[in-house]
A and B are shown apart, each in its own frame.
Chain A
Amino acid sequence: MELKNAMLELIRRASTDLSPDVEAALVQAYDREDEGTPAKSVFGTIIENVKLAREASTPVCQDTGSVIMYIDFPVGHSEKVYKEAAEAAAMEATKLQYLRPNAVDPITGKNSGNNVGVNAPYLHFHQWDKDEVRVRLMLKGGGSENVGAQYKLPDTALKAGRDLKGVKKVVIDAVNKAQGQGCAPGIIGVGIGGDRVTSYALSKEQFFRKLGEPSSNPDLAALEKELYEDLNKLNIGPMGFGGKTTCLGVNVAAQHRHPATFYVAISYTCWVYRRKQMIIKGSEVTYD
């Protein structure tokens, strides 16, 4: 089960070690806060915890999230093979305490105990023309998932119309409502357009982008920059204690909408921003 072992290693890396761009953003946030403030002390604890988790190879956060995988594979491959490997890897990762058992049957309330269940792990498949396989993994915590929101424009109360100005307003509203609940500072993924389902999907996929990498669309890149600056003026700060850093990044994307609808989905992820990918080419596996 080489594929299973590669996926297990991908899960281990995601759960126990943050990517360099995320760690760098946390260090910058620590440097920005004033001495003697709760915000400074929180960032100090956060940075120490990230180091401890990497050294001990234990989860950065006990909420090891929902296991979400995006798999791109060459023509002719079987999805079943990847599904079985992902399930086996999730079970093994739970046994090794890289994952907490996080799959609960909503009817009986029973935890499956191994992160496998209906739509768990959650897999997105995509066939592509390359002769290599790419597996992108996101471990997303439940607390931050709970503060996500979807708006339908126009929004009368917020005076938010069907344009990018309206989009900006609802993002500010969502992050303000989240306060520290989603383990601020957060990273904000925004999906504009699409239907109810695809708007959330698009917002979440934005978490695979690197921090500080702007949208290729100049209007959206400008919106990302404005939102990043505005959200950090809210003074919610780490854990909602007040402070200069309320978000570490804003990634926005758009897709065509039905003439009658204008959805804006906002996905929020906590500072324990866990996403890793691996490329499998022949017998070689590289992780990033």
Chain B
Amino acid sequence: MIKLTTPISEETARSLKVGDEVLLTGTIVTARDAAHKLMVEEKPDFPRPYMKDGVIYHCGPVVKKHEDGSYSFVAAGPTTSTREEPYQAAVCEEYSVRAVIGKGGMGPKTLEGLQKVGAVYLHAVGGAGTLIAKRCTKVETVFKLEEFGTPEAFWVIQVEDFPCVVTMDSHGNSLHKEIAAKSDEIAKELMGLK
């Protein structure tokens, strides 16, 4: 088990390999479809301080607002990452992101981007909403809440020992590519196409 703390250096990111199990601690930022589109089309500056050598989390949380105006996460597992495939490589490069957490893996464009930037894709357990929310210890701030709504807003949060697995690294390796190639062959056999 590798303990990883933000900010993450390029050297550290490049040292990670597919299959490494990671416990992540520090500040990370949630971003989904609307956020990625914005970051590519308008390149806003407000996320920069949190994203440089930082971590993007593909997550649309369930959030509780407390009487004093503060927020906490109630359920916060990863969302499907592939929707950000058109944007991810450009976002990682523009904002010097070192890790992207999500589920389901991403495609060739992102894999190439990870190699270029020096970053990794971390897979969290999809559906583990309550368990992961317990590792999100504090909501620091939020951007675009009113405009994008709760799931799509940029939530800046602190996490402690967030469990992930490296499934895409900066050396061109992808667990998702491997599993899909093997299952394609099995599927063809089962369908009698071989």
Contacts and interface: CB of A to CB of B under 8 A. Distances in A.
A, B assembled together: yes
Contacts of B108: none
Given A143-B79, A242-B179, A45 B149 contact: no
Interface stretch (B2-10, B42-50, B86-94, B186-194): B186-194
Q: Which 5 A-B pairs have the closest CB atoms?
A: A111-B149, A62-B75, A49-B131, A176-B187, A53-B130
A275 B63 CA distance: 23
Contacts of A109: 34
Interface of B: 19, 21, 34, 59-64, 74-77, 79-80, 82, 103-105, 123, 125-131, 133-134, 148-152, 163, 165, 167, 175-176, 179-180, 182-184, 186-187, 190-193
Interface centre among A99, A239, A240 (most CB of B within 10 A): A239
B179 A179 contact: yes
Given A169-B191, A234-B183, A46 B127 contact: yes
A61 B176 contact: no
Contacts of B193: 158-159
A241 interface: yes
A234 B187 CA distance: 7
Given A179-B104, A180-B176, A240-B105, A272 B127 contact: yes
A56 B180 CA distance: 37
B149 A63 contact: no
Interface string A49-80: 10011001011111110000000000000000
A26 to B, nearest CB: 10
Interface centre among A56, A61, A169, A236 (most CB of B within 10 A): A61
B183 A179 contact: yes
A46 B184 CA distance: 26
A29 B114 CA distance: 33
Contact of B187 (A46, A172, A181, A270): A172
Interface of A: 38, 41-42, 45-46, 48-49, 52-53, 56, 58-64, 97, 99-102, 104, 109-111, 113, 142-143, 146, 158-160, 169, 172-173, 176, 179-183, 230, 233-237, 239-242, 270-272
Given A38-B165, A49-B128, A111 B150 contact: yes
A62 B59 contact: yes
Contacts of B104: 143, 179-181, 183, 239-240
A266 to B, nearest CB: 14
A137 to B, nearest CB: 18
Given A58-B74, A60-B130, A180-B103, A235 B183 contact: yes
Contact of A172 (B80, B128, B191): B191
Contacts of A41: 21
A61 B183 contact: no
A141 to B, nearest CB: 8
Contacts of B190: 172, 230, 233-234
A59 B179 contact: no
Contacts of A59: 62, 74-75, 129-130
Contacts of B148: 111
13 contacts: A49-B129, A52-B130, A52-B134, A53-B130, A111-B151, A113-B149, A169-B192, A176-B187, A179-B179, A179-B180, A181-B82, A183-B126, A240-B175
B59 A111 contact: no
A176 B190 CA distance: 11
Contact of A235 (B126, B151, B182, B192): B182
Given A45-B125, A172-B190, A235 B75 contact: no
Contacts of A48: 131
Contacts of A143: 79-80, 103-104, 126
Contact of A64 (B62, B131, B182): B62
Given A48-B131, A172-B190, A62 B61 contact: yes
Contacts of B19: 38
A270 B129 CA distance: 13
A234 B149 CA distance: 38
B128 A46 contact: yes
Contact of B80 (A62, A99, A181): A181
A38 to B, nearest CB: 6
Contacts of A99: 62
A63 B60 CA distance: 7
Contact of B62 (A100, A159, A182): A100
B77 A61 contact: yes
Given A62-B62, A100-B61, 5 more contacts: A49-B128, A60-B129, A173-B191, A239-B123, A240-B175
